[in-house]
Structure 1
Amino acid sequence: MTPAAHSFENAVVLVTGGASGIGAAAVRRFAGHGSRVVVADVDTGRGEALAAETGALFVRTDVTELADNEAAVAAAVEAYGRLDVVHLNAGTISGTTIGEAFAPERYRRLMGVNLDSVVFGVQAAYGPLKASGGSVVVTASATGMRPSYEVFYAASKHAVVGLVRSLGPVLEADGISINALCPGLVDTPLIAERMDELTRAGLPIATSADVVDALETVLADRRTGQAWLVMADRDVAPFAFADLPVPHEKNLAFENGGVRAVHQAG
């Protein structure tokens, strides 16, 4: 995968889940482009080490807490005066499913990391991104568009994809773009325990660099509200969802969580 040509020199970039895996690859890539990078992660040891390596700023961040997301954004703006790109990358797998072994605390933790963090991240960054005309890219998953035996992980990623697609036109009015990266299997710590079996089964596995290539492509493209497939065996591209038209939907305007009729059906 080859990213589109685009300059990120001096851009201010915030990466959540930035201490390892895809996030760390993104931090290194943007730092190499001359961006001013903020690493937001709950892992202080890895986060501080990566910041020292790349010249980035580390902010310890529990992405499941709105206040922590706000603090990370505030640190970026205080240090660099603006915010241009937010890569909401934090994610986890639950290790539980429906049945006798159901663990509600693992389920809630997964939803907090995979879904709440996106809501909180976008909310925290909204003001600075509106000021800069900036971009949000969320790491979702190809399981956000198909069933998976990781049922709660798939549910959380379906929610993230729906959130991004719905926020696209909402944020576009404020000059902010938002997109989702939807990788298939990626060689990260998230699947490390299963790597041997996945490889033996012959499944295509992308690298973190492949995903960051896609991230650059999406940021250069400037479309919004798209879910971009990132697979080891194909080029990165927006997923073509089937359209589901609703009669007279254009007669409504959605404002501040409410709705009003702007035209009368006739």
Structure 2
Amino acid sequence: MGLEFEDRVVLVTGGANGIGAGVARKLAGLGARVVVADVDTAGGEAVADAVGGLFVPCDVRDPRDSEAAVAEAVRACGGLDVAVLNAGVATGFGLGDDFDAERYRAVMGVNLDGVVYGVHAALPELRKRGGHIIATASMAGLMAMPLDPVYGANKAAVVALVRALGPVLAADGVRVNAVCPSFADTAIIAGFESVLRTSGMPVLTVAEVVDAYLAVLRAGGTGECWYVQAGRPSEPFRFPNPPGPRADGGAPVALRDPSQEG
């Protein structure tokens, strides 16, 4: 059974602009109580004011900030139902002469650590109410991204994390999914937007991407990674099965967590 949004408490990281702001506005318009978390104080406060929500400063690279954002949502709204872990940045460098280790750590801190820390911080509250987690991944996590390989690497890690967490957290009544947009009209594409436009690559509107978040929440699945591509309906990506291990007798072997068995 999918989720409806009246009086639900939703935390959106990276909510000051782009996709995060679009999700905040859409869910607030459907009756949700929205907590906007971002390092951009002016932008975050503007979105929160516009939706009648709450702004909390949050650098997702610091696990204490994610914990504080969840705590403030609970203090102000009485609990937490949905965590949209959306904060993300473009990389803008490769692994050659332009590589910068400090920038690399900062990017990985936002795009991957921010999801890990967000899940860890939100889980105790989401378990109480049977909540939902949506992480913003990317088509770059499902296919090669030559324009920004490091970005592709951290988004692929988010995809793998969500797929692994899906069945694990289902036992606690928590659903976790990812949305994987193609190129969308946000600050992420600023460095190569002209290349996209010149080549004729369609650029999604924020509204098109936001519609996928609603579809994911309402679908009621878990461990899914929904692609968002121009000109086709969004749906979970069907991952091909890799060759699995075989026992000595040739029978397939499945990895099971003994702690999950009754």
What TM-score range do you get, normalising by the shorter chain? over 0.9
Q: What do the CA deviations read for 1:135-172 (whole angstroms, capped 9, x no partner)? A: 00111000101111201000001100000000111101
Residue 3 of structure 2 contacts residue 220 of structure 2 at CA under 8 Å; is this kept in 1?
no
Answering whether residue 69 of structure 2 is matched by residue 65 of structure 1, we say no
Deviations 1:163-218 (A, max 9, x none): 00001111011010000100000001111343233112110111111111000000
Candidates 154, 176, 195, aligned match of 1:156: 154
Distance 1:99 1:39, change over 3 A: same
Percent of aligned positions with the same letter in both sequences?
49
Partner of 1:229: 227
DSSP 3-state at the match of 1:8: coil
Q: Where does structure 1 differ by over 2 angstroms across 4 or more consecutive aligned residues? A: 192-197, 244-252
Compared CA separation, residues 254 and 199, structure 1 to 2 (3 A): farther
2:138 corresponds to 1:134: no
What is the aligned partner in structure 2 of residue 119 from structure 1?
116
CA–CA separation in structure 2 for the residues paired with 1:60 and 1:72: 8
- Compared CA separation, residues 254 and 98, structure 1 to 2 (3 A): farther
Residues 94 and 109 of structure 1 are in contact (CA less than 8 Å); yes or no, is this contact kept in structure 2?
A: no
* TM-score (norm: length of structure 1): 0.91
3-state SS in 2 of match to 1:246: coil
Aligned to 2:27: 30
Structure 1 partner of 2:200: 202
Does the CA-based 8 Å contact 2:177-2:223 persist in structure 1? yes
Equivalent residues of 1:31, 1:54 under 8 A apart: yes
Residues 251/215 of structure 1: CA separation in 2 closer, same or farther (3 Å cut): closer
Question: What is the distance in 2 between the residues matched to 1:159 and 1:15?
Answer: 20
TM-aligned CA deviation for residue 20 of structure 1: 0.3
AA aligned to 1:47 is G
- What residue number does 1:259 align with? none
Partner of 2:170: 172
Gaps of 5+ in 1: 257-261
Provide the rounded CA distance (Å) in 2 between the counterparts of 1:161 and 1:120. Answer: 15
Q: 1:95 is matched with which residue: 63, 88, 92? A: 92
Q: 2: CA distance between counterparts of 1:9 and 1:139?
A: 23
Cα RMSD for the two superposed structures = 1.6
2:256 is the counterpart of 1:252: yes
The one-letter code sitting in structure 2 at the alignment partner of 1:189 is A
Q: Distance in 2 between matches of 1:199 and 1:109?
A: 28
Q: CA deviation at 1:255?
A: 4.2
Query: What is the one-letter code of the residue matched to 1:206?
Result: L
Bigger shift: 197-206 or 75-84?
A: 197-206
Does the CA-based 8 Å contact 1:226-1:238 persist in structure 2? yes
CA distance in structure 2 between the aligned counterparts of 1:251 and 1:194, rounded to whole angstroms: 42
2:9 aligned residue (5, 9, 12):
12
Q: Does 1:43 align with 2:40?
A: yes
For 1:128 and 1:192, the matched residues in 2 are separated by: 36
Q: Does 1:84 align with 2:84?
A: no
1:12 and 1:82 in contact (8 A); partners too = yes
The answer to whether the Cα contact below 8 Å between 2:66 and 2:117 also exists between their aligned partners in 1 is: yes
- Inter-partner Cα distance in structure 2 for 1:155 and 1:169: 23
Distance 2:40 2:71 in 1: 19
Other structure's SS at 1:15 match: strand
TM-score, normalising length from structure 2? Answer: 0.92
